Amino acid sequence: MPFAIERDDDLLTVAVDGQLVVGNRQELKQLVLDEVEQGVRRVLIDFSNGGYIDSSGLGALVSLNKRIREQGGELRLAGLNDDLRTLFELTRLDTLFHLYGTRADALVGF
Amino acid sequence: MRSLVSDSGSGAAVPCGEWTIASDIREIDRVVLAVTTLCEAAGFPPKVCRLNVPVALTEAIANAIERGNGGDVARSVRVMARIDEAGLCVEVTDEGNGFDLDAARALATEDGWVEREDGRGVFLMYALMDHVETSCDAGHTVRLVLRKS
């Protein structure tokens, strides 16, 4: 299972293990949207154990960000290594997302 | 699927491989892993092996499957990779008629691109490779080139 989830009230934490790519991005989207449907409003996706992300994976994050905001919630991303930060900077997605060094950092004030 | 080391004619071993897969996105990972492994063995920098090669190649194969072959599993995608002293050259060939790579790349200059769910794949191929080109002969081919240094 590339996505491990923990739920605490309206907070959902998703730990990504490995790549987020065209082959599994739909699984992540559905998993998070199902939880949003059940009342989750704060979503933290932790890439500490993540691999690379392709354009489909980035697109899934953009889509989730929009859907969560529409429900009055917030999406935060944590644990991005230098490679992933490069990817977010190249695509200017660092301007769209809140990026945090660690899961603990992301939980401050969340 | 095969991965091998051929002789370049100069006596030097040339890592290369050729894979033919069905138009199924679940097939992408194993080809990407095989090419990345070739690059690691050939001494490409770790970041290139972790990011540039897998992301750009994933984009090229996904485009071949979804755009080129229209997701028709009866159509195949061929991937040929070769590493020599200059660097890596990967060709991804589908059975379609190709698409306008420049137009897809230009999406990145449009207003609202950052908020779009799609439209980053071709941009990333260009951003992460040294050279990208296409040709249409027996199928549509995208050629990705990455210099070693």
pLDDT number for residue B107: 87
B48 touches chain A (CB under 8 A): no
For range A67-90, the mean pLDDT = 96
More confident residue, B111 or B125: B125
| Rounded-to-integer distance, Cα B140 and Cα B124, Å | 19
* pLDDT mean across residues, chain B: 90
User: What distance in Å separates residue B43's CA from the closest CA in chain A?
Assistant: 18
Query: Does B114 score more than 90 pLDDT?
Result: yes
Please name the residues between 15 and 54 in chain A that touch chain B, using a CB distance below 8 Å.
Answer: 19, 21-23, 51-54
What is the pLDDT at residue B109?
Answer: 87
Residues B2-22 pLDDT 10s: 555 555 455 556 789 999 999
Is pLDDT at B142 greater than 80 in this prediction? yes
Q: Can you say how many angstroms the Cα of residue A32 is from the centroid of all Cα atoms in its chain?
A: 9
Cβ distance B121 to A55 less than 8 Å, yes or no, reads yes
- On whether the CB atoms of residues A80 and A93 are closer than 8 A, the answer is no
Q: How far apart are CA A55 and CA A21, in angstroms?
A: 7
Q: For position B104, what pLDDT does the model report?
A: 85
Task: Report which secondary-structure segment, H or E, holds A18.
Answer: strand A11-20
Kindly report the nearest CA distance between residue A100 and chain B, in angstroms.
Answer: 19
Closest Cα in chain A, distance from residue B138 (Å): 26
Whole-number pLDDT of residue B140: 94
% chain A with pLDDT above 70: 99
Which residues, 6+ apart, have CB-to-CB distance to B24 below 8 Å?
Answer: B65, B73
pLDDT of residue B53: 98
pLDDT at A50 over 80: yes
Q: Does A107 touch chain B (CB under 8 A)?
A: no
At residue B30, the 3 state secondary structure works out as helix
What's the pLDDT at A42?
98
Structurally, at CATH architecture level, domain B2-147 sits in: 2-Layer Sandwich (3.30)
Question: What is the tens place of the pLDDT at every residue in B77-89?
Answer: 999 999 999 999 9
Write down the mean pLDDT value for chain A: 96
> Would you kindly state where each structural domain of chain B is located, as residue ranges?
2-147
**A83 at B interface, C-beta within 8 A:** yes
Q: Decide: helix, strand or coil at residue B137.
A: strand
pLDDT at site B2: 56
Question: What pLDDT does residue B77 have?
Answer: 97
Q: Is domain A3-107 classified as CATH 3.40.50.10490? A: no
Give the model's confidence band at A1: pLDDT under 50 very low, under 70 low, under 90 confident, else very high: low
How would DSSP label each residue in A43-109? EEEEEEEEEEE-HHHHHHHHHHHHHHHHTT-EEEEE---HHHHHHHHHTTGGGTSEEESSHHHHHTT
Residue A22: the pLDDT is 95
Cα atoms in the Cβ-side hemisphere of radius 13 Å centred on B78: 9
- Summarised one tens digit per residue, pLDDT across range A67-76 is 999 999 999 9
**Res B10: pLDDT:** 53
pLDDT band at A30 (very low <50, low <70, confident <90, very high): very high
3-state secondary structure of B68: helix
| Residues of A in Cβ contact (< 8 Å) with B58 | 21-22, 52, 54
In angstroms, how far is CA A81 from the centroid of its own chain? Answer: 14
Residue B97: what pLDDT?
Answer: 82
Contact residues on chain A for B123, CB-CB shorter than 8 A: 55, 91
- Among residues B59, B63, B72, B68, the alpha carbon closest in space to that of B24 is found at B72
Residue A32: predicted pLDDT: 98
